[in-house]
Amino acid sequence: MALLRLKWISTDLLASVCHMKRAVCPGSFDPVTFGHLDIIERASARFDELVVAVLVNRTKSSLFTVEERMEMIRKTTAHLPNVRVDSWSGLLVDYCKSNEIQSIVKGLRAVTDFDYELQMAQVNLQSSGVETMFMATAPTHSFLSSSLVKELAHYGGNVSSMVPEIVNTALKSRVQEGGK
Ligand code: PNS
């Protein structure tokens, strides 16, 4: 009888894991900003598990290492129990396939983001069937980007309203070290 009950429990558990709604929020996150964190927080409320994946964008050079970027995301999302941080070098759809992820979540700031993001969403859908869901960035963050934050920090501008304190501190010391 006990064995039978155990079997039911494990079957239920298996079923719930199999039906987990899992999404990935991919990006360079160099570094993570309040704009990213807003999307991560809102997306995490809509999926069972949200993986924030630090990916290599071949068109950009980076200020922080992948490990540093992951650590900053880990610390600033520690209050979200269903958020996991990972990294990947390769095609995003391959990452989705090997991690049983059905959806990609992207934030859209303005129409200027749209052309490129739509193209990527269509390529990803056609090549793998993975859906992309766009979330509107909160209006307070619509101008915000990691590149802008890095530019401001480089010239000694105040970015404390754009990034969490630990990111601000990391930016200041990287700039002092001569990082670009
Ligand atoms: O924050 P970013 O730089 O706008 O993020 C872009 C990123 C890294 C998510 C995108 O370049 C990406 O998905 N790179 C992985 C390679 C890939 O799958 N490219 C899309 C197919 S053409």
Tell me whether residue 36 is one of the annotated catalytic residues.
yes
> In the structure, what pLDDT confidence band is assigned to residue 11 with cuts at 50, 70 and 90?
low
**Could you report the per-residue pLDDT of 55-92, keeping only the tens digit for each?**
988 888 899 999 999 999 999 999 999 999 999 999 99
Q: Which residues pair with 152 in a beta bridge?
A: none
User: For a pocket test of ligand 1, which of 73, 109, 116, 120 has the largest count of ligand atoms closer than 8 A to its C-beta?
Assistant: 120
For residue 99, count CB atoms less than 10 angstroms from its CB and return exposed for 0-12, middle for 13-18, buried for 19 or more: middle
Tell me whether residue 109 is one of the annotated catalytic residues.
yes
Q: Is 17 helix (H, G, I), strand (E, B) or coil?
A: helix
**Could you report the per-residue pLDDT of 159-169, keeping only the tens digit for each?**
999 999 999 99
Residue 126 half-sphere exposure toward CB, CA atoms < 13 A:
6
Who contacts 74 (Cβ-Cβ below 8 Å, separation ≥6)? 85
Candidate list 62, 106, 146, 174, residue with the active-site label:
146
CA distance 93 to 91: 5
Q: What angle do CA 30, 110, 91 make, to 5 degrees?
A: 50
Q: Which residues pair with 22 in a beta bridge?
A: 49
> In the structure, what pLDDT confidence band is assigned to residue 14 with cuts at 50, 70 and 90?
low
pTM: 0.90
Backbone angles phi, psi at 145, to 5 degrees: -150, 160
Average pLDDT over residues 2-8: 57
**CB-defined site of ligand 1, < 6 Å:** 26-28, 55, 57, 60, 91-92, 120, 123
Of the candidates 113, 88, 119, 117, the one whose C-alpha atom is nearest the C-alpha of residue 101 is 88
